[in-house]
């Protein structure tokens, strides 16, 4: 039986299967975007499909640290993540 890759949610710090989480990626150009395929090049961070996890990650700046960003997460990325999470439920 093959192991499934595990990743940690930046909001609740719980390890879950990679396919259960949403990936946010910082590209080589420094652009932050939502990666629904999970295969985009760049540094990635993961979030549960739970609005509370998104709020915690943004408030504690853990998403910013995981992506090694100088500035905060752009508001449009936060809004898109919120839409993805609410649509998925």
The CATH number of 6-88, from 1.50.10.10, 3.40.50.620, 3.30.230.10, 3.30.1230.10, is 3.30.1230.10
Is residue 85 predicted with pLDDT exceeding 60? Answer: yes
- Tell me if residue 84 falls in helix, strand or coil: helix
pLDDT of residue 80: 87
Q: Which residues pair with 32 in a beta bridge?
A: 26
Which pLDDT does position 81 carry in this prediction? 87
> In 10 A of CB 28, how many CB atoms?
8
Which residues neighbour 25 within 8 Å (Cβ) at sequence distance 6 or greater?
32, 33, 34, 35, 40, 41, 42, 43, 44, 45, 67
64-76 pLDDT, tens digit per residue, is 999 999 988 889 8
Say yes or no to pLDDT of 88 above 90: no
pLDDT tens, residue by residue, 2-42: 899 999 999 999 999 999 999 999 999 999 999 989 899 99
Q: What is the pLDDT of residues 49-67, one digit of tens each?
A: 999 999 999 999 999 999 9
Global pTM reads 0.89
């Amino acid at each position: 039986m093959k192991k499934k890759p595990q990743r940690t949610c930046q909001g609740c710090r719980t390890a879950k299967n990679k396919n259960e989480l949403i990936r946010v990626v910082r590209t080589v150009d420094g652009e932050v975007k939502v990666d629904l395929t999970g295969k985009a090049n760049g540094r990635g961070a993961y979030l549960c499909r739970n609005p509370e996890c998104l709020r915690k990650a943004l408030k504690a700046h853990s998403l910013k640290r995981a992506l090694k960003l100088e500035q905060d997460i752009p508001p449009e990325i936060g809004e898109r993540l919120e839409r993805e999470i609410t649509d998925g439920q």
